[in-house]
Amino acid sequence: MKSVKHSMLLFFFLFNSSKAFSDINGNWGGWGLWNYRGSGTNCFDVSFQFKESPQELKRISGKLNCYYITMAEEPLNLVKNGQNLIREGVVVGTFDENKYEWLEQYSSEVQIKVTLRRSGVHLEYGEDWFEKNTRILYEIKAHLKTEKSNF
């Protein structure tokens, strides 16, 4: 009886641990909004592909098609260490069970703060582009759902 309980407990732990990494894997699609200094445009086609494991998070691809602008996201590999996200040996962000947040360097003057919040089959994606003086240049928000969902 004791070994059955241990086996069930081990199965429960492994199932729930792997589930924490499975929700972000795959293709995500939806719509969004791109704001530039108070003016915005709708993004009618937003898609991302992510791959996650216990050791890393990868952005395989991403694209935003908006009425006035189109943007392709570069592939990105982030290593997980504790709750830190590391790129090229430098801590660039953090993560927990439902949220990822990291900084990407666009140029010597501009950084991008990327935020992912997941809830089941939904993913809220955000980018805040800001200058060194912390003035926000662009705000991108997207509402995505996994292709695995039926709604």
Rounded average pLDDT over 20-26: 66
Q: Phi and psi (nearest 5°) for 99? A: -140, 140
* CB atoms inside a 10 Å sphere around CB 148: 12
In a domain, 58, yes or no: yes
Instruction: Give the residue, 22 or 70, on which the prediction is more confident.
Output: 70
CATH number at residue 12: 2.40.128.20
Q: Tally the domains of the chain.
A: 1
Question: Would you say the pTM of this structure is higher than 0.85?
Answer: no
In a domain, 15, yes or no: yes
> Cα separation of 127 and 117, whole Å?
12
In a domain, 151, yes or no: no
- Look up the domain containing 43 and give its range: 2-146
At 22 the three-state DSSP class reads: helix
pLDDT digits (tens, 9 = 90+) for 37-89: 778 899 999 999 999 999 999 999 999 999 888 999 999 999 999 999 999 99
DSSP per position, 113-134? EEEEEEETTEEEEEEEEEETT-
